[in-house]
Amino acid sequence: MKLLAVRRLFRIKRVVIRYQLDDLLLALPVPVWLHVLSALLPWRWLPRRTLNLSRGARLRLALEELGPIFIKFGQLLSTRRDLLPPDIADELAKLQDQVPPFDPAKAQALIESQLGARVSEVFARFDAQPLASASVAQVHAAQLNSGEEVVVKVIRPGLAPVIEQDMAWLFLLARLAEKASPDARRLRPVEVVSDYEKTIFDELDLLREAANASQLRRNFEGSELLYVPQVYWDLCRPKVLVMERIYGIQVTDLATLADQRTDMKLLAERGVEIFFTQVFRDSFFHADMHPGNIFVSTRTPWNPQYIAIDCGIIGSLTPEDQDYLARNLIAFFKRDYRRVAQLHIDSGWVPADTKVNDFEAAIRTVCEPIFEKPLKDISFGQLLLRLFQTARRFNMEVQPQLVLLQKTLLNIEGLGRQLYPDLDLWSTAQPFLERWMRERVSPLHLLRNLQLQAEQVPHLSQIARDALERLNQPAAIQAAPAASHQWPARLLGAALIGGAASQGLLLTLATWPAWLMLAGGVYLVLRR
C-alpha cells in the first residue's frame, strides 16, 4: 500500500469525523454489534461540536470533499428517491450539477494550454462563471467566432492521484472480502472494482467522451426520441471538450414540464424505449443517465424529445449477452420461470448441477409479486435485494460486464418513477423486446449474416492453404518420422478447414456446422 493511499485513508476519516457521518449511520436500524463497535472509536469519547446543518447537507458536503468516486456514489443514490428520505434525496440531487466549481482562472489556463491559443482568440465570448459543475469537470458557456453557441467542458485539475488512492483502498477491501467470505467471492468484487477503475479513468479522457457523443448522435440521427449535441472536433483535446449548447428543461423540473403541458406518460415510456434501443439495437448505451445529464426539448411538448449530454461513461454488450438478456426478460414477461431458470443454468451463471425445479420456485417467489402493479407500487431496491438472496442460495455469480447495465436500469427506473408513477415498466419494454427478437430472424438480418460470413471466407481459405503448406514441407516430415500415422488426420483436418470456408457461404442462421468443421480441422492439423 502506497504512502499516499494511507494518507488518503486518514483524510477520509477526518471527513467522517468532521461531518459526524457515524451518527447518521447509527441512526439507521443497524445491528447491535455495530453500536458496540462504534462506542470504542476514540473520537466518540471526545466533546463534539454541534453542526448547524441538516443530515442531508452533512452527507452531501462530505461526499463533495471526498472527491469524484464518492460524488458519483451520491449521484447514484439521488436517483432513487424511493429508497431515501426526501431531505437527503434533495441534498444529494445537488451533486448532479451543483458541485462547487474550481477556480475559473485555472479552467481558462487549462483550456489555453490544451488548445495552444488564448481563449479570446478561439471564442468570440467566453463566460468565466461556470454554467454547471460536477464531480469530474465543469462547463463554461461560450460563443465561437463563427457565431455558434457552445459549451466548453474542462477536467478538474489533480483528479487522477485522488482516484488512484481511492481505487487502491477499494481493491484492498475487495481482496480482503474475497478471502474472508465465500459469498463475497461469488460477487466477484475484484472484477467489479477493476471494471469501475477502467470506467472512471476513461471518464477523464474527454476525447473518448467526444467519440462516444458522436457515435450516440449518429445512432439517433433524425430520431424523435433522443437528441445528442454536435461535437466540435477541431477544439477537442484530452482535457477540453467543445460541443453545441442545448436549451431544454431538466428532466426533474416537473413543474416546468407540467407548465408546458408535456405528455408525461409518453415521456416516461420513451425513456424506457431509448434505454432498450441503446442496449439491444445498438449495443451502445449511455451509462451515466442521472437527471443532471438529461433534458427535455421545449419544441414539441405533446411529442417530447429527450436531450442527452455527458457521454463519458458508455456501456456495450456482446451479442451473446444481448441474446441472453432478451430471452431472460421475455421469459420474465411471460412468467415462464422454468425457462428463466434453465437459461441461467445453460449460461453457466449457476452451477450445472442446480436443480431446475428448486431454482424455478425461488425465482417465482421473487418475481411474481412485481407483475400487474404500477411502478409506484414496486420497490426495485427490495426486489434486487431478494434476488441477491436467491443468488446466494444457488451460488450464482455476479457478471461484472452487466454492472453498468444494472446501474443504468436503476437510473431509468428511478427517473420513470418521478415522471409518471403509474408507468408499467414491463408492459412498455415487452413489445420492444419481442420486436427485436423477430428482427433477428428477418430476411434482412439473415442476409447481413450471410455477408459477414462471406467476408470471412478468404481468411478461412488462407488458414487451409497455410495448413497444407506446413504439411508438405519435407523438414516437417523428417522431423517427425514417428508421427507418420498422423498424416491422414492432418489431411482430413485441412479438408475440414476448407470445407468450413465453403460452408460459410451457404449457412445463414445455423452457422454452427461450419464453425464445428473449422474447430475440428484446426485441432487435427495442429495436434501433436
Query: Which one is catalytic: 82, 97, 288, 310?
Result: 288
Q: Within 10 Å of residue 520's Cβ, how many Cβ atoms?
A: 16
Measured CA to CA in angstroms, residue 457 lies from 19, 147, 166, 353, 395 at distances of 65, 52, 49, 39, 42
24 assigned ligand-binding residue = no
137 assigned ligand-binding residue = yes
Pairing of strands 306-308, 226-227: parallel
525 assigned ligand-binding residue = no
Measured CA to CA in angstroms, residue 351 lies from 118, 186, 342, 348 at distances of 61, 12, 11, 6
Residues 6 or more apart whose CB falls under 8 angstroms from that of 337 comprise 331, 360, 361, 363, 364, 367
**Could you give the CA distance from residue 206 to residue 212 in angstroms, rounded to a whole number?**
10
242 assigned ligand-binding residue = no
308 assigned ligand-binding residue = no
Buried b (16+ CB within 10 A) or exposed e, 247-273: ebbbbbeeeebeeeebbbebbbbbbbb
441 assigned ligand-binding residue = no
153 assigned ligand-binding residue = yes
131 assigned ligand-binding residue = yes
**Could you give the CA distance from residue 150 to residue 143 in angstroms, rounded to a whole number?**
6
Residue 195 known to be catalytic: no
**Could you give the CA distance from residue 443 to residue 449 in angstroms, rounded to a whole number?**
10
What grid cell was written down for 234?
Answer: 477541431
**Could you give the CA distance from residue 172 to residue 157 in angstroms, rounded to a whole number?**
26
Residue ranges of the binding site: 131-139, 153
> What amino acid positions are annotated as catalytic residues?
288
Residue ranges of the binding site for ATP: 131-139, 153
